[in-house]
Structure 1
Amino acid sequence: MTYETTPSPQADRLLLPAVTAAVHAAGARLLERFGRTATPANFDDLVNAIHANDAASLACLRDALLLARPGAGWVEDELAGGALPPGEWWITDPVEGNINHVHGQPDWGVTATLVRDNTPVLTVVHVPTTGRTCTAVCGGGAFADGVPLRVSAKTELRAAMVATGQARPGESSATYRRIGQSVTAMLEAALVVRVSVPATFQLVMVAGGQMDAFWQHSQVRSGLVSGALLVEEAGGAISDLHGRPWTLESEDFLATAPGLQREAVATLSAIA
C-alpha cells in the first residue's frame, strides 16, 4: 500500500494500520523474550539486557515505519530531548518500560509516534502483556482497542489520583530535588500520589480517566509525545508546570483533566 506524501489528517489516518502492525510485531518479539532469563545480577548485565531488547524490537519497527512514511526522519536516541529539525520524524520507544521488562514486571510496551514540525500527529501504544493497543491521530480522537478514551471530569485536586516519575536515570541533583519537593506538594494537595515508570503508562491512564494528572520534571521526547497526543485527543490539558503551552523544548511537563489544570499548576509551579 502507498500513502499520500502531502501531510493531511486523512493521510495520517491511513498510516494507522501499518504503524499498528509494526508495533504489534515488535511487541510479539519482546513477549517471546519476556521472563525467559533471570533478572540481571549487576549493572553491566542490566545494560546488556536492555540493549538486547531494544535491538529485537527495532528489527521489527524501523524498516516497517520508514517504509510506511517515506521521507520521514528517524530519531536514533530514544533518551534525547529538545526540538527536532523541521519536517516529519518517527519517535519510538522500542521498549517503553524496558527496566520493567528485564525485571519480569508486566508494565512495558512499544510506542511509535509520527511528529510533524515538532508536533505529534499520530501515535500507537501497544502493551503486549495485556494485548491492549491505544491509538490517536491529531484531530481524530484517542482510542483503546477501538473504544474512545475520555479524561476525568474531576475538578478538585483533593479528590484526584496523580502521578509522576523519573524521565531517565542520571538526572541532575537539582532535578531529583524538584521531583521530591513536587511529590511532597502533591501529597499535601491531592488524594493519592503514584511514582512510577514508564511515563506513557501513566499518561494512558490520564487519557482514559483512570488517573487525573501526570507531571514530570525534565523530559525525554520518546516518553512523552505518545501520551501527550493521547491525553490531548481524549480532551485533556497539556502544558508545562507553569501552565504555558508544552513543546519539545519545554523543561517540564503536565497533563491533567481540564478541571484540574489550574490547581495543579498552582501546586507545582512554586517549586524552583
Structure 2
Amino acid sequence: MRRHLDGLRPGVDWAPELDGLAVLPAHGEVWVVDVIDGAVQFLQDLPHFCVSLALVRDGEPVAAGLHAPLLGETYLASRGGGATRDGRPIAPSAKTDPAAALVATSQPPFIERHPGAAEEAGRSLAAVLPRVGAVRNLGPTGWQIADTAAGRLDAFWQFGRDHANLLPGALIAREAGAVVTDTAGRPWTSCSDSFLVAAPALHDRLLRALSDRADARDARA
C-alpha cells in the first residue's frame, strides 16, 4: 500500500498503527491503516478480518476502503461520492422496530488503556440486550460498521477511541445514509470516546437505550 499510495499522493504521512489514543493532525492529509482489522480472528484461524484504509484530510475521512480477502468483498467510499460494496451502491436497513434488529458491538484493542470503556461496554450491553433481537460481535470493527451501512446489520456501537478502525467505516456509513454519532448523539470525530452507527429509523431509539445505561450509572454514583 505504501509503495502504491505514496506514488499517487507523494508526501502524505502515515499514522501509527494500533494506537487509537494518538491525536491525528488537525490540518493536512494522513493515511490511517489497519493491515489486519480483526487480528485476533486472523490469529485464531477465523475468517472474519479485513484490510482497512482511510485518507484523512483536516481530521475528517475523505476516502476509505475495506477488503476482506477470504470473503472476497470490498467496501469503498469517498466524501460526497457515495459508498459501494463490490461496485454496487449500498444503503442501511429500513427496519423501524428494535425488537427485530440485529446489532453488534466490539471493543478497541488494549481496552485497559481506555479509562472507563470496559465498564461502559458492560452497562451498555445490559441496556441494549433486552430491547433488540440479538447482539453479536462479528469480528473486525470497520467491517461491522460497513455491514451496518449496507443493511446486513442494523446498528453497531463501541466505547473507547479506535480511529484506525472507526474512520474508514464511519465514512462508508455516512455516505451510505446511516447515522453516525457518539453514544450521546453528538457528531462523531476521531477524538470521541464512543461510537454509534445505526439505520436512520433505529438511531434515536438506540440512543435512548444507551442513555438509560448512563442514567443507571449516575443513579448508582
Within the candidate set 256, 259, 268, 2:201 is matched to 259
Code of the residue aligned with 1:76 in structure 2: it is P
Q: In structure 2, what is the equivalent of residue 114 of structure 1?
A: 55
Cα distance between partner residues in 2 of 1:154 and 1:88: 37
Task: Name the structure with the higher strand share.
Answer: 2
Cα distance between partner residues in 2 of 1:170 and 1:88: 27
Aligned in 2, Cα 1:82/1:263: closer, same or farther, shift over 3 Å?
Answer: farther
Name stretches of at least 5 consecutive residues in structure 1 with no aligned partner: 1-60
Code of the residue aligned with 1:101 in structure 2: it is F
The C-alpha deviation readout for 1:167-202, integer Å capped at 9, x for no partner, is 113425732121111111111111111134321121
Aligned in 2, Cα 1:170/1:255: closer, same or farther, shift over 3 Å?
Answer: closer
Q: In structure 1, what is the equivalent of residue 6 of structure 2?
A: 66
**TM-score normalised by length of structure 2:** 0.91
Cα distance between partner residues in 2 of 1:163 and 1:186: 10
Cα distance between partner residues in 2 of 1:243 and 1:138: 21
Q: In structure 2, what is the equivalent of residue 154 of structure 1?
A: 95
Within the candidate set 97, 100, 111, 2:41 is matched to 100
Segments of 4+ in structure 1 off by > 6 A?
none
Which one scores higher on RCO, CA 8 angstroms, separation ≥ 6? 2
The C-alpha deviation readout for 1:63-82, integer Å capped at 9, x for no partner, is 32222211212102332235
Is 1:213 paired with 2:155? Answer: yes
Q: In structure 2, what is the equivalent of residue 204 of structure 1?
A: 146
Cα distance between partner residues in 2 of 1:89 and 1:123: 12
Count, aligned residues: 212
Code of the residue aligned with 1:241 in structure 2: it is T
Work out whether residues 217 and 252 of structure 1, in 8 Å CA contact, stay in contact via their aligned partners in 2: yes
The C-alpha deviation readout for 1:62-118, integer Å capped at 9, x for no partner, is 232222211212102332235421110100001111111111110111111100011
Cα distance between partner residues in 1 of 2:144 and 2:125: 15
Q: In structure 2, what is the equivalent of residue 55 of structure 1?
A: none
Aligned in 2, Cα 1:81/1:68: closer, same or farther, shift over 3 Å?
Answer: farther
Task: Name the structure with the higher helix share.
Answer: 1
Cα distance between partner residues in 2 of 1:246 and 1:220: 12
Within the candidate set 162, 169, 172, 1:230 is matched to 172
Q: In structure 1, what is the equivalent of residue 218 of structure 2?
A: none
Code of the residue aligned with 2:140 in structure 1: it is P
Work out whether residues 166 and 197 of structure 1, in 8 Å CA contact, stay in contact via their aligned partners in 2: no
Cα distance between partner residues in 1 of 2:118 and 2:196: 17
Is 1:268 paired with 2:207? Answer: no
Name stretches of at least 5 consecutive residues in structure 2 with no aligned partner: 215-221
**TM-score normalised by length of structure 1:** 0.74
